[in-house]
Amino acid sequence: MKPFLILTLCVLSTAIFQGCKKDSTDADTTTTTTETPILQAYIGGTVWTPDTLTTTLVHNAATSSKVLTCTGTKSQKRIVFSIKQSSAVNDSSFPVATYNVDGSSNVNMSYYTQQLTTAGLYDFVLYGTAQAGSGTITITSVDTANKTITGTYSFISSKLNYDAEGNYESITLAAITTGVFNAMPYTFASN
C-alpha cells in the first residue's frame, strides 16, 4: 500500500507543478514598438519631442529666394529654425547641405519658453538665439514628391541679460543638442 501511496503522491505532485508552469502566450505579454520621431532634440540634456509642428517652404518671386522655416512646440518650450536660400527657383526643392549660423540672416535658430506676460497671459518669450558659430542645420535628404525633409540640427541658445540701467549682468545659455528631423512634412507656397 505504501508504494502505491508514494506513486500516487508523485503523480499528483507532477500534475500540480505542470499545471503551474507559465505559458509563453499569457495575456500579460506586451509588445512594444519604437517609432522614429519626426522632430526631436535634447534641451539641457532632456529629450524633447514636439506635439505641434509646422514646417513651411516659401518662395518669394520678388527676391528670388526661398525660406524653410520649422516651428516645434511642446511642454512650454518652442524651437524655431529657418534657412534662407538666395537665387532660388520656384519649386518645392531645397538643397541638401550643411547650414551654419554665421551672423547673417540666412540661418536663424531660436529657443522660446512659455512665460506669464505683464498682461497676465501666457505667451512664448524668446529665451535665446544661436550666435555666429554656435548652430548648425544639416539637410540630408529632401523628397519633393511627398514634401518631406530629413536632417539634423543643434545649437547653443544665448541671451544677454541687462540690469535696469542697461548694464550687462549675465548671459543665459541653453544647449539644444542631437536634434533630428525625419521625413518631416512641409508645405510649399509661392508669393
**In this predicted model, what pLDDT tens digit does every residue of 45-62 receive, in sequence order?**
999 999 999 999 999 999
The string of pLDDT tens digits covering residues 29-49 is 334 345 789 999 999 999 999
Q: Exposed/middle/buried for 35, CB within 10 Å: 0-12, 13-18, 19+?
A: exposed
**Do the domain assignments include residue 171?**
yes
Instruction: Give the phi and the psi of residue 18 in degrees, each rounded to 5.
Output: -65, -35
**Do the domain assignments include residue 19?**
no
Q: How many domains does the chain have?
A: 1
State how far the alpha carbon of 162 is from the alpha carbons of 129, 132, 165, 175, in Å.
16, 21, 8, 21
Nearest CA to 75 among 101, 41, 38? 41
The string of pLDDT tens digits covering residues 122-143 is 999 999 999 999 999 999 999 9
More reliable by pLDDT, 144 or 20: 144
Quick one: pLDDT band at residue 100, thresholds 50, 70, 90? very high
Asked if residue 44 lies in contact with residue 79, where contact means CB atoms within 8 angstroms, the answer is no
**Do the domain assignments include residue 4?**
no
**Do the domain assignments include residue 9?**
no
What mean pLDDT do residues 86-103 have? 96
What mean pLDDT do residues 5-13 have? 41
- Kindly report the pTM of this predicted structure: 0.78
**Do the domain assignments include residue 2?**
no
**Do the domain assignments include residue 124?**
yes
Predicted confidence (pLDDT) at residue 88 exceeds the cutoff of 60: yes
More reliable by pLDDT, 13 or 99: 99
**Do the domain assignments include residue 11?**
no
**Do the domain assignments include residue 29?**
no
Domain around 180: 38-186
Predicted confidence (pLDDT) at residue 25 exceeds the cutoff of 90: no
DSSP 30: -
